[in-house]
């Protein structure tokens, strides 16, 4: 009987030792696997989203400033080239041209056309609404150049900064091709030398533009 008890005790000790050894071997391996899985998930947030957006713009102007009071929107166009994304954030440089006809030379000067060139960087956040429809609110910031002309003759250029807020509504037509509409508010601040009482009138311009265009996907992963 004593031999039986002794045998059982030895087996229990061996089993306990084996369990301790197994835990010491498996725990580090598990620790190594877990971070790599987390790293993989983090890496999936970054990706290439290369696409072009080409669009026509109907320019507008609001507020108490020379653009709104002495100009009327004629036409415009723009292009964006998205490069990368992080999660649902998309980054794209872009360019937008908007042309205005002068309606009041007493306020705007003896010119016929005001052309606005907006070079910007756009950050958008994509929201999936339904299967083929997305909404992407965005902000923009960049450089501004206003060119005033009459009969093809230049009457000076003003440079400054531009900031914008807006949203795109994208409707997917087929693989790699979408139709989109855009509403965008721009605050424009050209460097114009003016008397202090008129400085705000010439240096604080506001646009309200509506656009329609196509999106062409090149890489999306």
Q: Residue 160 gets which letter from DSSP?
A: E
The verdict on residue 26 lying in a domain is no
How long is the chain?
221
pLDDT digits (tens, 9 = 90+) for 11-38: 444 444 454 444 444 444 444 444 444 5
pLDDT digits (tens, 9 = 90+) for 47-105: 888 999 999 999 999 999 999 999 999 999 999 999 999 999 999 999 999 999 999 99
The verdict on residue 41 lying in a domain is no
pTM (2 decimals)?
Answer: 0.77
Q: How far, in Å, are 90, 98, 153, 165, 216 from residue 67 at the CA level?
A: 31, 12, 20, 18, 33
**Bridge partners for 116 per DSSP:** 98, 146
Domain CATH number, residue 144: 2.40.160.20
Look at the chain and report how many structural domains it folds into.
1
The verdict on residue 162 lying in a domain is yes
Domain holding 133, by residue range, is 47-220
The pLDDT of 1-15, averaged and rounded, is: 47
The verdict on residue 119 lying in a domain is yes
The verdict on residue 18 lying in a domain is no
Q: How far, in Å, are 61, 81, 122, 125 from residue 92 at the CA level?
A: 25, 5, 5, 12
């Amino acid at each position: 009987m004593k031999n039986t008890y002794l045998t059982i005790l030895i087996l229990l000790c061996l089993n306990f030792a084996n369990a301790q050894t197994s835990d010491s071997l498996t725990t580090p391996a598990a620790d190594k696997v877990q971070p790599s899985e987390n790293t993989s998930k983090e890496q999936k947030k970054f990706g290439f989203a290369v696409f072009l957006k080409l669009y026509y713009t109907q320019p507008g102007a609001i507020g108490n400033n020379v653009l709104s009071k002495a100009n009327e929107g004629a036409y415009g166009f723009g292009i964006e080239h998205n490069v990368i994304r992080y999660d649902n954030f998309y980054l794209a440089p872009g360019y937008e041209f908007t042309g205005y006809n002068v309606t009041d030379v007493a306020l705007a000067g003896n010119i016929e056309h005001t052309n606005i060139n907006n070079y910007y960087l756009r950050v958008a956040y994509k929201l999936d609404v339904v299967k083929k429809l997305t909404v992407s609110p965005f902000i923009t910031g960049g450089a501004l150049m206003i060119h005033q002309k009459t009969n093809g003759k230049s009457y000076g250029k003003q440079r400054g900064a531009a900031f914008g807020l807006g949203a795109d509504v994208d409707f997917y037509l087929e693989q790699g091709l979408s139709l989109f509409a855009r509403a965008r508010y721009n605050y424009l601040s050209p460097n114009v030398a003016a008397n202090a009482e008129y400085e705000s009138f010439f240096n604080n311009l506001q646009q309200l533009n509506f656009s329609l265009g196509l999106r062409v996907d090149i890489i999306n992963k």
